[in-house]
Amino acid sequence: MADRLFDEEFFRKLQLLTLSFRRQQAQHAEGRLTALQRGGRVEFADHRTYAPGDDLRYLDWRLYARTDRLFIKEFRKEEQPLAVILVDASASMGYGTPPKWDQARRLAAALAFIALAGEHAVHMATFAGGATRWGGQINHRSGFASVLSFLERSEAQGETAAARAARDLAERQPRPCLVVLLSDLMDPSDPRGALGVLAAKGYDLTVVHVLSPEELHPPWQGPRILTDAETRHSRPLVLDSRLLSLYLQELNRFREGWREFCAAHQMLYLPVSTATPFEELLLHYLRRGGLLK
């Protein structure tokens, strides 16, 4: 399955990259001190003077032998950082040469591999048709094959439902985490409200806006019948230079609107074209954009 997405040489290059947890890094670095916490990774943090009622199991007897004073050992619990990857699986993602869906799946798989190689947990989901389809949470690199299987079983069909996916995420994972949304953002319900709520709650959000070269630079002119990939509604048009110019202006406004929204909510906005070679896109563009390092 993996060879359909990228080869072993590319896997080796991915191991040199890490995900950039911009908000979560600061939260994990603080770490709340406790006598002992279960789950996650627990590391020694500091000593404090013994007080009546403290658990005697955590007395530092070696320090007592040197100082003749009682100290309790304290520990810090470090939770495994979680990366949630939401992939638009609507019918419009099947458009383009190569299809946006193929590029989005490859990006999702690569990001999952990078996260797992960095000892982060990964939770993958696809969304379309008003529903969000969740895979199982993967906590170790050995589970990467199940990520690939999940993506390969998914198909691009139905209408976009990014807002529903964002709300589902908030219910399923109420603790802030890193979230990467891969979508063409052609969503009549406009998910910006739901994404803004996640940002306000401290989620670390990146929006990867995937478009095809045909959408960025339409090659057609003359009479055409345009059919919406998701609603199947059709409309006859005569595509001349004036109409194409208006289209490009509207597309630029659409992309700039998303850029401004993401900047205002401390999200990364990364517009990508499926015409960009995948290796260049992942190893260079996403690193410059701040998602990878």
User: Cβ of 191: how many Cβ atoms within 10 Å?
Assistant: 23
Report the pLDDT value the prediction gives residue 25, as an integer from 0 to 100. Answer: 44
Res 2 pLDDT > 60: no
Q: Which amino acid is at 268?
A: L
Domains and CATH numbers, the chain: 2-21+81-289 (3.40.50.410), 31-78 (no CATH)
Amino acid 184: pLDDT: 97
Q: Which residue has the tokens 């989620």?
A: 203
242-265 residue pLDDT tens? 989 999 999 999 999 999 999 999
Q: What percent of the chain has pLDDT over 90?
A: 58
Average pLDDT over residues 273-291: 92
pLDDT score, position 83: 96
Per-residue pLDDT band at 43 (split at 50, 70, 90): low
Sign of the dihedral through C-alpha 37, 38, 41, 43: positive
Q: What is the mean pLDDT of residues 200-222?
A: 94
**Winning range, highest mean pLDDT, from 223-227, 236-240, 273-277:** 273-277
User: What is the arithmetic mean of pLDDT over 65-71?
Assistant: 86
The confidence band for 277, taking pLDDT boundaries of 50, 70 and 90, is very high
Report the relative pairing of strands 121-128 and 131-134 from DSSP bridges.
antiparallel
Residue 107: predicted pLDDT: 95
Output b/e per residue, 29-60; b: 16+ Cβ within 10 A.
Answer: eeeeeeeeeeeeeeeeeeeeebeeeeeeeeeb
**How sure is the predictor about 9, in pLDDT bands with cuts at 50, 70 and 90?**
confident
pLDDT reported for residue 251: 96
Helix (H, G, I), strand (E, B) or coil at 258: helix
Q: What is the pLDDT of residue 28?
A: 40
pLDDT higher than threshold 60 for residue 39: no
- Mean predicted lDDT score pLDDT of the chain: 87
pLDDT attached to residue 227? 83
What is the spatial distance between Cα 135 and Cα 123, in angstroms, rounded to a whole number?
A: 7
In whole angstroms, what is the distance from residue 280 CA to residue 10 CA? 11
pLDDT of residue 225: 85
- Looking at residues 86-108, what average pLDDT do you find? 95
Tell me: the pLDDT tens digits for 153-204? 999 999 988 999 999 999 999 999 999 999 999 998 899 999 999 999 999 9
The Cα 293–Cα 290 span in angstroms is: 7
pLDDT recorded at residue 196 = 97
Backbone angles phi, psi at 245, to 5 degrees: -65, -40
* Percentage, residues of the chain above pLDDT 70: 89
